Amino acid sequence: MIKVMIADDEEVIRRGLEKITTRMDLQVQVIGSYGNGLEAWNHLQTLTPEDIDLLITDIKMPRMDGFMLIEATRDRMKQLPIAVLSGFSEFEYARRAMRHGVLDYLLKPIEKAQLYDLLRRVEEGRDLQNAGPEQGQRPQPHAEGGEHYVVEQTKAILEKEYGHNFELEKLAETVGMNASYISRLFKYKTGQTITDYLIGIRIAKAKELLTSRPDLKNYEIAEMVGYSDPVYFNKLFKKMCGVTPKDYKSGCRAPRQEF
């Protein structure tokens, strides 16, 4: 039985986690589910390391935030696996949590596969520890979770900033990673370069504007999707869609229109 404690001020998140864990082929017991860090800490203080296998905590909570809860828990149970719940807007919190030695962090909305993987690693680490000191070890922080977060954060930034001039260094600074590392990671995880992914977003937005805003000139649409040179935009659009922006607007659709 994997004994889990959950701390998150959103009841829907807590209930969702409980529901997901009961539908897995793992034996999971939620020993506590709390809406703030202080309530979770009050319970944690009464437990021994044998009473709990995993703490899953949000960062932004009333009365005691996730960082305070993690620090207090670490003082009491240095080896307890801890996972952080986080959304895209809390990326800086997630990076800071990594420095506290958290095992993993789960993106909201919670992905069943990532939660399952986390619980399996906790279970395996506990079983190894119970096997004896010479074999025992706690699960190690999972780079996969962090990489997934970085890629999804990069996608979110591109979706929001597609209309501006793209600068890889600026994006890397926002995400908090090395530019060349992000480029390699993004290609490895998505099969596309960051530039190709951005082009896909821009062309899709251009197609929307061409059909929904017939009053706009082509050069205006080009600027709105991040291209200051309308000639380059026309060539790129035709390459990707098989027709020029003008023909696309007038209803001439090439077989390759869906990008």
pLDDT tens column, 108-157: 778 788 888 889 888 888 877 766 544 445 555 556 556 777 788 888 88
The DSSP secondary structure of 124-168, one letter per residue, reads HHHHHHHH-TTT--PPPP-HHHHHHHHHHHHHHHHHHHTTSPP-H
How confident is the model at residue 47, as a pLDDT?
95
Average pLDDT over residues 204-209: 94
- Full set of structural domains in the chain with CATH: 2-141 (3.40.50.2300), 142-259 (1.10.10.60)
Q: Is 99 exposed, middle or buried (0-12, 13-18, 19+ CB in 10 A)?
A: exposed
Give the closest residue to 7 by CA, choosing from 68, 66, 75, 88: 66
How confident is the model at residue 144, as a pLDDT?
56
Q: When comparing pLDDT for 160 and 90, which is higher?
A: 160
Q: When comparing pLDDT for 182 and 14, which is higher?
A: 14
Q: Is 75 exposed, middle or buried (0-12, 13-18, 19+ CB in 10 A)?
A: exposed
Report how far residue 61's alpha carbon sits from residue 74's, in angstroms, rounded to the nearest whole number.
18
Report how far residue 181's alpha carbon sits from residue 108's, in angstroms, rounded to the nearest whole number.
24
Pair of tokens at residue 125: 């680490």
State how far Cα 178 lies from the chain centre: 18
Can you tell me whether residue 56 is helix, strand or coil? strand
Report how far residue 4's alpha carbon sits from residue 82's, in angstroms, rounded to the nearest whole number.
10
Pair of tokens at residue 243: 């027709």
Residues 6+ apart with CB under 8 A from 57: 6, 7, 8, 37, 40, 66, 69, 70, 82, 83, 84, 85
State how far Cα 195 lies from the chain centre: 20
Q: When comparing pLDDT for 56 and 24, which is higher?
A: 56
Average pLDDT over residues 69-84: 90
Report how far residue 71's alpha carbon sits from residue 3's, in angstroms, rounded to the nearest whole number.
20
* pTM of full prediction above 0.85: no
Report how far residue 42's alpha carbon sits from residue 50's, in angstroms, rounded to the nearest whole number.
17
Average pLDDT over residues 4-23: 92
How confident is the model at residue 142, as a pLDDT?
54
For residue 159, the number of C-alpha atoms closer than 13 Å in the C-beta half-sphere is 7
How confident is the model at residue 136, as a pLDDT?
46
pLDDT at 257 over 60: no
pLDDT tens column, 80-97: 999 988 776 666 666 676
